[in-house]
Chains A and B, each alone.
Chain A
Amino acid sequence: MSLFFDLLSGSMMITGLVFFVGTVTGMLRFPDFYTRMHAGGKGDTLSTILILLGAAIHVFEDFFYDPLQWGVLLVMVKILAIAAFIMLTSPTSTHALMRAGFEDAHEADETVVDKDQDGPSLEELQSGTWEERS
């Protein structure tokens, strides 16, 4: 059973690290502001939560073998609270940054713009000149 907990928490942490590598790669390699923020927002949130969950499971193991250790359970609850907090705030801060970039008229890279699309271009949206066609 101990092996089960170790494997579970270890694999979660390692998966989190893998996503972190993806996040960093995306932040460095993606062509423009919006795609970089996309990588940062998604990868960062998921990997942080995964690592925190791994830590929570690792702590829970102690409680599992000795249910009288209420303090340990409290630590786990605190870690889970941090995870919930990250899940709420990290995407929001990414959104805020993205929004600020949008209002600051950051340009999108032409390789990621879908030219065949019927909708408005980014510039039209930013300047507010686009009106929905009926």
Chain B
Amino acid sequence: MIWQLDLILLIFLVITALISLRVRDLLGASMVFGIYSFLICLLWAGMGAVDVAFTEAAVGAGVSTVILVATVYHTRRVTGGHKRASGMKLLSLLLMLVLGGVLLHASGDFPALGDPTSPANNHPVAQYYIEGSYQDTKVPNLVTSVLADYRGYDTLFETVVVFVAGIGILAVIGVPTARMRREEVCGDTAQFGEDSDLIILQTCRLVVPVLQLFALYVIAHGHHSPGGGFQGGVLFGASYILLALSGGLREALRRLSESMSFRLAACGIVIYAGFGLLCMALGSSFLDYAILDSILPGGVAKARSHSMLIVEAGVGFTVTTILFVIYANLATRGKLEGGL
């Protein structure tokens, strides 16, 4: 890690954060926010948290910018013109300053980055993960084994949170009547990207399959390199969003309809939780993959490794489809017609 580079990145981070707050044009603000996410991603990569950096690059800098732009497109583009700061704003500014000061003060007590004697690195659990993970699971990427095996509960409920987010967005802005009408509209065979630009269309046609293949690689190769269900799922969802952006939302929905999305999303969670229940059925505790040794080939450690792959695939299903549903609903105000 090079501290000069980190310093520059941190300075830019603060600058972009301030700009995204100051800019009146919300479209510009969301783009600056994308830059902010990307800078954070670089910082995390510099700290060695490559998995987190990957997620931030895919979600923060990529998809969430698109989702923010879609939202701004349907709401007001400029923030309300309060020329003078109201009392409430001043109060919150004061609170923020106090809070920030306290946090800044407390940050002096942090152990140095990578300090081997820090409590986090000395905890017996962390020690166990670092030393025993490979023998236990035969997965070289510690992050994946901790995420999908040792702390499988967390990941299961994270996936459920993603699913609930999709349902929430549908509940808030979904339009039931237009939804039914759309099912008929989708029946006709309109040409792919009739009214879109040829160059953009062809490039996206080239890129989308590669992107989807890469997403599958990220899910499957998460055991050995940064990646996994969340990152791969986001990439896969992004490929559908790209399809919707270039060739029209209707075409993307023809390939992955909303009802099918929700079915697949639920499938993902059923795969994950069902795998946990399978462990229970075989006489062990929930999500204790070691017992699956009797079904899966290759010994206890390999059984855990394979279980992780299946669980990650479940996460991938949910994340992919929910991201696409969120985009499709936000871009059309829940009507699922037209789009950006």
User: Hey, which bits of chain A sit against chain B, CB under 8 A?
Assistant: 85, 88-89, 92, 95-96, 99
Interface string of B197-235 (1 = CB under 8 A from A): 101100100110010000000000000000000000000
The dominant DSSP class at the B interface is: helix
Chain A residues contacting B207 (CB-CB under 8 Å) are: 85, 88-89
Determine whether the beta carbon of A96 is less than 8 Å from that of B206. Answer: no
The dominant DSSP class at the A interface is: helix
Chain A residues contacting B203 (CB-CB under 8 Å) are: 88-89, 92
Q: Name the residue of chain B whose CB is nearest to the CB of A103.
A: B197
Chain B residues contacting A85 (CB-CB under 8 Å) are: 207, 210
Once bound together, how far apart are the Cα atoms of A89 and B208, in whole Å?
A: 11
How far in angstroms is the closest Cβ of chain A from B68?
Answer: 17
Once bound together, how far apart are the Cα atoms of A130 and B201, in whole Å?
A: 26
Chain B residues contacting A89 (CB-CB under 8 Å) are: 203, 207
| A-B contact list, 17 entries, CB within 8 Å | A85-B207, A85-B210, A88-B203, A88-B206, A88-B207, A89-B203, A89-B207, A92-B199, A92-B200, A92-B203, A95-B197, A95-B199, A95-B200, A96-B197, A96-B200, A99-B197, A99-B200
Once bound together, how far apart are the Cα atoms of A89 and B238, in whole Å?
A: 15
Once bound together, how far apart are the Cα atoms of A85 and B206, in whole Å?
A: 10
Report the count of interface residues on B (CB-CB < 8 A). Answer: 7
Interface string of B250-266 (1 = CB under 8 A from A): 00000000000000000
How far in angstroms is the closest Cβ of chain A from B185?
Answer: 25
Q: Name the residue of chain A whose CB is nearest to the CB of B206.
A: A88
Known: A88-B206, A88-B207. 11 other contacts (CB 8 A): A85-B207, A88-B203, A89-B203, A89-B207, A92-B199, A92-B203, A95-B199, A95-B200, A96-B200, A99-B197, A99-B200
Chain A residues contacting B210 (CB-CB under 8 Å) are: 85
Once bound together, how far apart are the Cα atoms of A92 and B203, in whole Å?
A: 7
Question: 7 tightest A-B contacts by CB?
Answer: A92-B203, A96-B200, A95-B199, A99-B197, A88-B203, A92-B200, A92-B199
Chain B residues contacting A99 (CB-CB under 8 Å) are: 197, 200
Once bound together, how far apart are the Cα atoms of A99 and B207, in whole Å?
A: 20
Once bound together, how far apart are the Cα atoms of A33 and B206, in whole Å?
A: 28
Chain A residues contacting B199 (CB-CB under 8 Å) are: 92, 95
Chain A residues contacting B206 (CB-CB under 8 Å) are: 88
Once bound together, how far apart are the Cα atoms of A92 and B205, in whole Å?
A: 12
How far in angstroms is the closest Cβ of chain B from A108?
Answer: 20
Once bound together, how far apart are the Cα atoms of A89 and B62, in whole Å?
A: 14
Q: Name the residue of chain A whose CB is nearest to the CB of B197.
A: A99
Once bound together, how far apart are the Cα atoms of A86 and B197, in whole Å?
A: 20
Q: Name the residue of chain A whose CB is nearest to the CB of B200.
A: A96
How far in angstroms is the closest Cβ of chain A from B255?
Answer: 21
Once bound together, how far apart are the Cα atoms of A21 and B207, in whole Å?
A: 29
Chain B residues contacting A92 (CB-CB under 8 Å) are: 199-200, 203
Q: Name the residue of chain B whose CB is nearest to the CB of A95.
A: B199
Chain B residues contacting A95 (CB-CB under 8 Å) are: 197, 199-200
